[in-house]
Amino acid sequence: MDRSTKRSFNFVNLKHPDDLKNEETQLRIRRLAMTEVGKARRKAKTKRERNEIVLEFRNPADQCVEIDCFGGGQIDPFGPYPIELDESARALIANIFSQNTNHSSQLRGCWYPVGLSCAAAFHNMLSNSQNFIFQKHNGYFPSQDDALALTHHHKALRHASELMKDPSKHQSDETIGAVTSFMCHHALLGNFPGDDWQKHRNALIKMVGLRGGYDRINKEHLRITLTWADLLGCFSQDLPPLVPMPRQWITDTRSPPNSPRPYSPISLAWKQQFPMQLDWISIFDNIVQLISLDRAFNEEQLVLAITSGSWMEPTLYRLLAIRPLQLGNERKHVIEEVLRLGTLLFLAPLWRVLGQTPVWTAAISRNLLLVLMKNMTEWNELRPLLIWVLYFASVETKDLAERSQFVSMLGVLISGMQLQEWDNVMQIIKSVLWVENIFTGTDELFRDEVMHIVHQCSMSSILVDTPPSFLEELPGEIAED
């Protein structure tokens, strides 16, 4: 609890110490604790305060307060753990909750209880923690387990096999949680050429079907984790999700009732051109509204991101679910697909800010480039949207060859629109959708490169007395001086 002069208290009433073993009580205490941690991270602290969490247990009928300090606050005191912890395992658990951890905090209030549900899920959680430690030491997240992570992953496989030997447990929360933990583990590694993630997803869908459907999953943290594990893998591979959204996510994806929508010329231009094509634009309008209302990064959303999920997860889910090109290759479907992929790339850095890591976007960037290269489409009044997509593709794409393609496209398009000043380009991008505290300075990565291409196109235009056209010049075919 924060030791500020203005203290806030949350009380959990217990009639007996054994009440701490109740799963719902534990989950409530964890959520309250994580709320305080989220608040505390944004306040300056002394060295002592950074290294302890104070928990107060108060009898409602008694005004006496007893305080217990758990040194460091890094080991959850509310076990029990499904395995006996050695020093190595304790260090891996401590890494999840330490103040300077790089471990993903996204939905920790859900996946951590699932990790405690059985030995298989717990070992996968320890394996994941070791991979985050690897990232901290090496600067990048591994694509495969190191020795310690692999040891825990093999133990998880062994415990899962033991679970499966008992037919009575095939549809149990423990077994479903174990299978989900394997999906999370493979999704975090982002190593999808293999089919391990897909095999576990197929097993999960079959188990839940035999149980009677997702509505038969009564524990909220498990139900949310099922969709989250599916979402992680689907985002990394740009696949449509198969696990339905939980009720809470469906609520979170909607704009607040009776709240005014910001005026958006881009949205109006879209609806004038494609009045019946509303899948992407309805999602985009919601994103614009949520960000304009400061719901994206306020304290409430950060706490929700740690516990049960914020507006980000259902928004990504909706973008992954729509598939414009399955409806045909007409101009409206191609443009909507480009914008679907571009919006996913725009949201990726925002997802990281809310606590998700790693966020793998290589498949999304690759699919975007393929669509752009195969379909030379007139954008007309919607060209600002194409500039916006190419900008965030250039920001997010890590593959240097693909990034060069996006930068070239952006330069040719800017030249075709007769934009000679970078400030004018940024005005267009910001007029579509922009988050200042997230994206400020991102243009420095490629601004000079883009403007060099614009200058080349302008010189070529002067020489042949013909304006450059984005529709006529493919990336890589720009004449060099």
Domain range list for the chain: 1-80, 85-91+98-240, 252-464
CA 58, distance to chain mean position in Å, is 37
Binned at pLDDT 50, 70 and 90, residue 13 comes out as low
Look up the pTM and report it.
Answer: 0.81
Between 268 and 295, residue with greater pLDDT: 268
Is 411:480 a contact under the CB 8 Å cutoff?
no
Torsion sign over Cα 167, 172, 176, 181: negative
Q: Of 28-32, 293-297, 454-458, where does mean pLDDT reach its minimum?
A: 28-32
- 222 has pLDDT over 70: yes
147 — phi, psi (to 5°)? Answer: -60, -45
Indicate the DSSP class of residue 382.
Answer: G
- H/E segment holding residue 288: helix 279-292
What pLDDT score does 364 carry? Answer: 98
> Distances in Å between the alpha carbon of 164 and those of 40, 126, 151, 217?
43, 21, 20, 19
Binned at pLDDT 50, 70 and 90, residue 42 comes out as very low
Residue whose entry in the numeric block shows the structure tokens 């494609």: 274
Residue among 246, 183, 249, 180 at smallest CA distance from 213: 246
Peptide bond into 80 cis (omega under 30): yes
Q: What is the mean pLDDT of residues 12-40?
A: 60
- 290 has pLDDT over 90: no
Summarize pLDDT for 410-466 with one digit per residue, the tens.
999 999 998 889 999 999 999 999 999 899 999 998 999 999 999 888 776 554 444
What pLDDT score does 441 carry? Answer: 93
Q: Of 1-10, 165-174, 180-189, where does mean pLDDT reach its minimum?
A: 1-10
Residue among 393, 345, 353, 335 at smallest CA distance from 369: 393
Summarize pLDDT for 362-373 with one digit per residue, the tens.
999 999 999 999
Strand blocks (E) in 323-380 = none
CA distance 103 to 112: 12
What pLDDT score does 271 carry? Answer: 93
Summarize pLDDT for 299-329 with one digit per residue, the tens.
888 888 899 888 999 999 999 999 999 999 9
Question: How many C-alpha atoms does 472 have within 13 Å on its Cβ side?
Answer: 9
- 96 has pLDDT over 70: yes
Query: What is the full DSSP assignment across 396-420?
Result: H---HHHHHHHHHHHHHHHHHTT--
Is 208:202 a contact under the CB 8 Å cutoff?
no
380 exposure class (CB count in 10 Å sphere: 0-12, 13-18, 19+): exposed
Summarize pLDDT for 387-413 with one digit per residue, the tens.
999 999 999 999 999 999 999 999 999
Pull the structure tokens for residue 37.
């941690």
Binned at pLDDT 50, 70 and 90, residue 195 comes out as confident
What pLDDT score does 471 carry? Answer: 40
| Single-letter code of the amino acid located at 473 | E
Between 158 and 23, residue with greater pLDDT: 158
For the chain, give the percent of residues with pLDDT over 70. Answer: 77
- H/E segment holding residue 429: helix 422-432
Q: What is the mean pLDDT of residues 138-156?
A: 95
CA distance 72 to 89: 16
Between 192 and 481, residue with greater pLDDT: 192
